[in-house]
A and B are shown apart, each in its own frame.
Chain A
């Protein structure tokens, strides 16, 4: 994106949330320790997200989407495993969630 037009740099910062640090940590373990995927695959996976992913997803959302796609592509996890695990986690979260709009 070098050279494209853009607005003023927004210098607001946030502290990384635990889940973001976990995504980062998983990526480091997958690349450096396990060598299941490469940083280059992470980048390629981010580039392969829909064009508006940059607006609609946060940084570590793009990372986890790319990591997940790579693990699916590499056959490390299957789409069925992922779907049932996500459903279970969502059900669990809802069971514990307070009433919310």
Chain B
């Protein structure tokens, strides 16, 4: 069951993984950024478990999240309308306080 809906504002968790070996599928540059759910892609195996050959763990909802480039890169030199969209698993996202309907 997807926790977020299309249009919800979310923040990418800014945590950094513990000591290796580990595997992380959320790009470094997007951690801590606030974006909007663009679509729900479905349920997929968690790559951070699959990376250790564990195929049968719980699946996670995968979203595509839309970010304004000027929010991602403080020195972005293109128009404010430019965006980047990234696939992010639900456990990497947290709600933005006061932005979403209860």
Contact = CB atoms under 8 A, between A and B. Distances in A.
Interface of A: 2-3, 35, 37-41, 43-44, 47-48, 70, 74
A3 B76 CA distance: 11
Q: Shortest 3 CB-CB distances between A and B: which pairs?
A: A40-B50, A44-B51, A3-B29
B78 interface: no
Contact of B51 (A2, A3, A43, A74): A43
Q: What range describes how many residues of B lie at the interface? A: 10 to 19
A38 B55 contact: yes
A51 B29 CA distance: 19
Contacts of B51: 38, 40-41, 43-44
A74 B53 contact: yes
A44 B52 contact: yes
B47 to A, nearest CB: 4
A47 to B, nearest CB: 7
B27 interface: yes
Contacts of B21: 44, 48
9 contacts: A2-B28, A3-B29, A3-B73, A37-B53, A38-B50, A39-B50, A41-B52, A43-B51, A74-B53
Contacts of A38: 50-51, 53, 55
B7 to A, nearest CB: 25
Contact of A41 (B25, B30, B50): B50
Interface in B32-49: 47-48
